[in-house]
Amino acid sequence: MVWLLCACLAVSFVLSVGVTAVLRRRAPRWGLVDRPAGHKQHDRPIPLGGGIAIVAGLVVPLLAALLTAWVFRTTWAPAWLPSLVTKHLDGIGAKTPAALAIVIGALVVHALGLIDDVRPLSPLVKLSVVALVAGVLAVGFGICAMVLLGPVLAAVITVLWIVGITNAFNLMDNMDGLAGGVACIAGAIFAASALRTGQIFVPVVTCMLIGSVAGFLLFNFPPASIFMGDSGSLVVGYVLAVLTVLTTFVEPEFGARPYGMLAPIAVLAVPIYDTVSVVWLRWRSGAGIFSGDRRHFSHRLVQRGMRPRAAVLTIYLATVATGLSATLLGHADWTDAILVAAQCLAIVLIIAILEQAPRHDPAR
């Protein structure tokens, strides 16, 4: 299984690196450029289009894998194909419609982001399209979380979760390397959690996502030479949200317990905290909650004296700290679950306390 995951990651990584390198030169000719203005921190035009590389690194290998599995399933499986893959061909075939629906949804969200990168759309339009895509997945293909609560409530929760996490990563894409790095960390933790419950589809797709984002990060880690834009951040958030819905965090056969359902919240605690805090600060100041500004968690760390790269690495470490604890929830009793939840809360509170330090005075 390890070799399969490494192969998926490597293929997506190489493809993403190649496409990103090309787009870094070609994007300005297509009008995909982020120019400094308003709340933006960069001081020169930066090419957009990294989202295209991320989507290519994810979608192309995934479609190729689905097509290959379909061919082997309907004709014959070659002798060199590992038994691990062979015995799951029927299962892959059964999940192909849902997988294609996820891919189509990603392409719709990607197209939405591309349009927004060229000609900004209203937040309501973006939220509505993502909600529509999530609704199709939940109602039309049964991709739902919390199914024990009934079909209607499960669908509503799923749509709210996908819209919320998609928007959280869209908001977190406010500093070089931030959204991509957090996505890689969260994805690795989700892949490990899925492996512990015997899943294959989720770890494979997650490794493709990690590879494609990591390939882009080579060009985006501070100082960035290309941005992912909304065409990338929306897709990354959407795919991660859908993968958390597909991940089996509660599986008695593998010793997983109900507390595992809290794992996605713990892993994504930092993006959720950033979204909630920035919305609260905007609302309290009377500004529009969807207006762009420098009130994000990363910006607040810089205002307290950190350099941008240090702020990004701090948020990486905070994500690792909450995420590693989350992997224990599926096999924890109620006492352990409380301790893990307390640890995650403590990490978020430490972050909040650090943000109360005096603001850094650049003149000094």
Q: Across the chain, what does the average pLDDT equal?
A: 84
Query: In percent, how much of the chain has pLDDT > 90?
Result: 40
CA distances from 37 to 44, 119, 192 (A): 10, 15, 41
Compute the average pLDDT of residues 109-137. Answer: 93
Alpha helices (H) in the chain, listed in sequence order: 2-26, 50-74, 83-86, 89-118, 123-135, 141, 151-172, 178-196, 201-220, 230-246, 263-267, 269-285, 297-303, 308-326, 334-354
pLDDT of residue 199: 81
pLDDT of residue 359: 56
The string of pLDDT tens digits covering residues 10-57 is: 999 999 999 999 999 888 888 888 876 655 565 577 888 899 999 999
Cα angle 146-148-153, degrees, rounded to a multiple of 5: 60
Q: Which two tokens stand for residue 162?
A: 């996908």
* pLDDT band for position 88 (cuts 50, 70, 90): low
Compute the average pLDDT of residues 266-277. Answer: 88
CB 187 within 8 A of CB 242: no
* pLDDT band for position 362 (cuts 50, 70, 90): very low
* pLDDT band for position 259 (cuts 50, 70, 90): low
* pLDDT band for position 319 (cuts 50, 70, 90): very high
The string of pLDDT tens digits covering residues 144-197 is: 887 778 889 999 999 999 999 999 999 999 899 999 999 999 999 999 888 877
* pLDDT band for position 83 (cuts 50, 70, 90): low
For residue 337, give the nearest of 259, 269, 267, 256 by alpha carbon.
259
Which range has the worst mean pLDDT, 12-16, 230-234, 251-255, 326-330? 251-255
240/78: higher pLDDT: 240
* pLDDT band for position 256 (cuts 50, 70, 90): very low
